[in-house]
Structure 1
Amino acid sequence: MYNSKITGLGFFVPDNKVTNHDLTKIMDTSDEWIQERTGIKERRWIAEGSDETSATMGAKAAKIAIERAGLTKDDIDFIVFATLSPDYYFPGCGVQIQDMLDMPTVGAIDVRNQCSGFIYSLATADQFIKTGMYKNILVIGSEYHSNGLDKTTRGRGVSVIFGDGAGACVLSRSEEKGKGILSSHLHSEGKHAEELTVISPSIKHWVPEIIDSKGEDISYFPYMNGTFVFKNAVVRFSEVIMEGLKANNLQTTDINLLIPHQANLRISQFVQQKFKLSDDQVYNNIMQYGNTTAASIIIALTEAWEKGLVKDNDIIVLAAFGSGFTWGSTIIRW
C-alpha cells in the first residue's frame, strides 16, 4: 500500500472584485448586514461578456499546480473534477480539462458533492493512489456561481454569499511512511437534501421558472434554509474533525492548521472557539472570496501554503459541510 501526498498547489480567481457596497446598488442590502451574517467583504465574479467558465478556471489552476509539482501534463494519470456548476449538464468538466491541457487520454471523473466536493475528490484520488492504480492525480475544485444567482433583493440571502474561482492540486504516490494523507472521513444525510438545493433544471424540470402541479414556483435559483444549514454545519464540522483526529491518535492541540470549507465565517469561528484553537491555527479567506463551494478549501490551502503557513511535518486538517447534506474531513501530515 502506497501513501499519497500533495506535491503541487494552484488557484485562480477572476480579476473582477464585487464588494458589498457594489451589491447595495442592485439589491436592498448593506455592507454591515452582509459582514455581520457571513463575514464576507467582497467576492470575485466573472465579468459579464467573459468567456471564463468553471472548466477554464480549473484548467488555469491545474497548470499552476502541475508546474509546482515539478511535473508535466503527460505525467498526470487521472483527473478528478469537483463542481456544482459544470459548463454543461453533461459531459462533466473533467474531460474538458483533458482536452484543454492537451493531455493523453487519461480517465476523468466529476464529483457532484457541492461544498464537500473537494474533500470527496481528494479521498477518491487518495484511494486510487494507495491501491497502486495511479501515480499522479490532478484534483480540481472550480465554481462559476455568479451567472446562476438571483441578484435581486428576493435572492440576497443566497447571492451575497457566493463567489467564483478554482483551485487544484496534484496528489502523488509516496513511499514515505506516516506523511501525506493520513485518513479521510465521509458522511451524508439525504433526508435534508431540499434544505439547500437547486430544484430545476433537472430531469423532472427542464424548463426554468415553471409552475408545478400545485401552483408553486419552481426556480432554477439556489434555495437555502440558512438557519437550519448553520445549525447542522456546526455540529457536523465538529464531529467529523474529531473523528479524523481520533482515527490518527491526535488531539486538537496537535492541529497546526485547520482549513474549513469557507461557507460562513461565523461557522468557522464557532468551530475555532469550540476547539479552543488560536487564530494562527485556523485559516479563513471567505472575507475576500466569498463561498466558492468545491473550490474553497483548495483555494484556501493554496493561499496558506503560498504565505508560508504550511510547513513540513505540520498536521493539516481539512473539513467541509454542505448540500446533500454531505460532510467530511481529511487529515494530512505535510
Structure 2
Amino acid sequence: MYTSRITGMGKYVPENIVTNDDLSKLMDTNDAWIQERTGIKERRHIKKGDGNSTAVMGVKAAEMALERAKISKDDIDMIVFATLSPDYYFPGCGVQVQELMGIHTCPAIDVRNQCSGFVYALSVADQFIKTGMYKNVLVIGSENHSGGLDFTTRGRSVSVIFGDGAGAAVLSRSEVEGHGILSTHLHSEGKHALELSLKGPSTNHWVPQLIEENPQEDIPYYPYMNGQFVFKNAVVRFSEVIMEGLKANNLEVSDIDMLVPHQANLRISQFIQKKFQLSDDQVYNNIQRYGNTTAASIPIALCEAWEEGKVKEGDTVVLAAFGSGFTWASAVIKW
C-alpha cells in the first residue's frame, strides 16, 4: 500500500507590499477598520512590469519545492494547479507551468475550487500516488487577485482582504505506513454558490454585454461576497471537517501539533482556535502579512511554518479550508 508524503515545499509572494494605509488613499477605509474586521495589516500585489502572473508565481514556488525535494523537473509525473485567477480563460495554468519549466508531456490538471483549491488538489495528487499510478506529483496553488479587484469605496469590503502569491508542494510515493497524508475530506454545498462569486465575465455574460447592461455602481465582473453569511458558514464547516479528519484517524484535538487553516480572515482562525482550545503554538496564521491568497494561502502558510521549525518530523498536521462554492476540505498529515 503506497502513501504520499510532502517531500518539498516552496512559496513566492511579489515584492510589492500594499499596506492598509496605502489602500486608504484609494478608498474610504483605514488601518483600524481593516485590522478589526480581518486582522490584515498588509498584502502583496503584482506590480506592472515585475514579470509576474498566476503561472509565473506558481513556477517560482514550484522551483523552490523541487529543490527542497531534491528531485528534478524530469522526475515530475503530474502537475495539479489550483487557482481561481488563471492567466487565460483557457488554457489552464497547469500547462503553462509545464512549458515554463520545460517539463515533459506529463498530465496537467487545473482545479477550480477557490479557497479549498489546494486541499482538493492535494487530495487529487494523493489518490494518484496511492494507486501506484504516479510517483512524484507537483501541486501548486497560485493567485493574482489584484488584477481583478475594485479598488474604490464600492469594493472595499472585498478588495482589502485579498493578496497575490503562490505556494507549491511535491508529493512523493512512500511505503512507510502511518506517515504522509493520512486522509483527505472534501465537501461542497452548491446552493450557496452565489454568496461568494464572480458572475462575469462568463460565457453567459461577456464583457461588452456586462458594460452595456449594468450601471457603474453594480458591476458583476468584480467579486461579490456576503461577508456575514460566509463567516457564519465558515466557522461551522471548519469545525466539522477538522473533526471529520481527526475521527477518521482515531485522533483527538489534543493530538494536533499544527493546524494550518486557510487564511480567509484572522477572526475565523481565532474562533476555531478558541473553540478547540488550541494554543498559539498549535495554529499558524500569516494573513496579517499576506491577506487572503485563496488557493495559495495554505501552501504558503505550511511552507513558512516548516521553514520556521514549527512543523517537524513526526508532527500531526491538519489543513482545513472553506470558501466559494461553498466548498470545504481538510487533510490530516503525519509529517
Structure 1: give runs of 5+ residues left out of the alignment: none
Amino acid at match of 1:225: N
What is the distance in 2 between the residues matched to 1:63 and 1:218? Answer: 38
Distance 2:216 2:13 in 1: 40
Q: Which residue of 2 aligns with 1:299?
A: 300
Name the residue aligned to 1:222: 223
1:7-34 Cα shifts (integer Å, max 9, x gaps): 0000000000000011111110000000
Tell me which residue corresponds to 1:262.
263
TM-fit CA distance, 1:207? 1.2
Secondary structure of the structure 1 residue equivalent to 2:8? strand
Contact 1:212 1:218 in 2 (8 A): no
- Distance, in Å, in 2 between the alignment partners of 1:226 and 1:175 is 44
Deviation beyond 4 Å, 4+ runs, structure 1:
211-218
Q: Is the 8 A contact 1:210 1:217 kept in 2?
A: no
Cα shift at 1:141: 0.1
Residues 15/213 of structure 1: CA separation in 2 closer, same or farther (3 Å cut): closer
Separation of aligned partners in 2, 1:333 and 1:109: 26
Matched with 2:313 is 312
CA distance in 2, matches of 1:214, 1:28: 21
Per-residue deviation, 1:216: 9.8
Residues 106 and 274 of structure 1, relative CA distance in 2, 3 Å threshold: same
TM-score normalised per structure 2: 0.98
**Structure 1: distance between partners of 2:235 and 2:216:** 35
| Paired-residue identity, % | 73
SS in 1 for 2:117: helix
Give yes or no for the alignment of 1:81 onto 2:81. yes
Q: Tell me the residue number matched to 2:36.
A: 36
Deviation at 1:49, TM superposition (A): 3.1
TM-score by length of 1: 0.98
The CA deviation at 1:206 is: 1.1
Q: Secondary structure at the match of 1:85?
A: coil
Whole-Å Cα distance in 2 between the matches of residues 332 and 247 of structure 1?
Answer: 12
Alpha-carbon distance in 1 for matches of 2:73, 2:259: 30
Q: For 2:196 and 2:3, how far apart are their aligned partners in 1?
A: 35
Closer, same or farther in 2 for the Cα pair 1:59/1:214, shift >3 Å?
Answer: closer
Question: Where does residue 98 of structure 1 map in the other structure?
Answer: 98
Note the C-alpha offset of 1:202: 0.6
Instruction: Show the 5 A alignment for 1:160-309.
Output: 160-207=160-207, 209-210=210-211, 212=213, 217-309=218-310
The structural deviation recorded for 1:211 is 5.2
Which residue in the other structure is 1:112 paired with?
112
Could you tell me which residue of structure 1 aligns to residue 324 of structure 2?
323
Cα deviation per residue 1:155-195 (whole Å; 9 max; x = unaligned)? 00000000000000000000000000000000000000000
**1:214 CA drift (Å):** 12
How much has 1:50 moved relative to structure 2? 3.0
Residues 200 and 218, structure 1, Cα contact 8 Å, conserved in 2: no
Aligned counterpart, 1:15: 15
Deviation at 1:122, TM superposition (A): 0.1
Q: Are positions 1:153 and 2:148 aligned together?
A: no
Which aligned pairs between 1:113-132 and structure 2 lie closer than 5 A?
Answer: 113-132=113-132
Letter in 2 for 1:294: A
Contact 2:181–2:331 at 8 Å: present in 1 too?
yes
Cα deviation for residue 219 of structure 1 reads 1.7
Q: What does residue 141 of structure 1 align with?
A: 141
CA RMSD of aligned residues (A): 1.4
Letter of the aligned partner of 1:282 in structure 2? V
Structure 2: which amino acid aligns with 1:103? I
For residue 210 of structure 1, give the secondary structure of its aligned residue in structure 2: helix
User: In structure 1, how many angstroms separate the alpha carbons of the residues matched to 2:78 and 2:216?
Assistant: 46
Deviation at residue 120 of structure 1 after TM alignment: 0.2
Cα distance, 1:217 vs. partner? 4.5
Q: Deviations over 1:222-241 (max 9, x none)?
A: 00000000000000000000
Hey, what's the Cα distance between the residues in 1 that align with 2:219 and 2:197?
Answer: 11
CA 1:197–1:34 in 2, change beyond 3 Å: closer, same or farther? same
Query: Are 2:154 and 2:217, in contact at CA under 8 Å, matched by a contact in 1?
Result: no
Aligned length: 334
Distance change (3 Å), C-alpha of 1:216 and 1:16: closer
Note if contact 1:54-1:86 (Cα within 8 Å) is conserved in structure 2: yes
Closer/same/farther in 2, CA of residues 125 and 224 from structure 1, 3 Å limit: same
Q: Which amino acid aligns with 2:186?
A: L
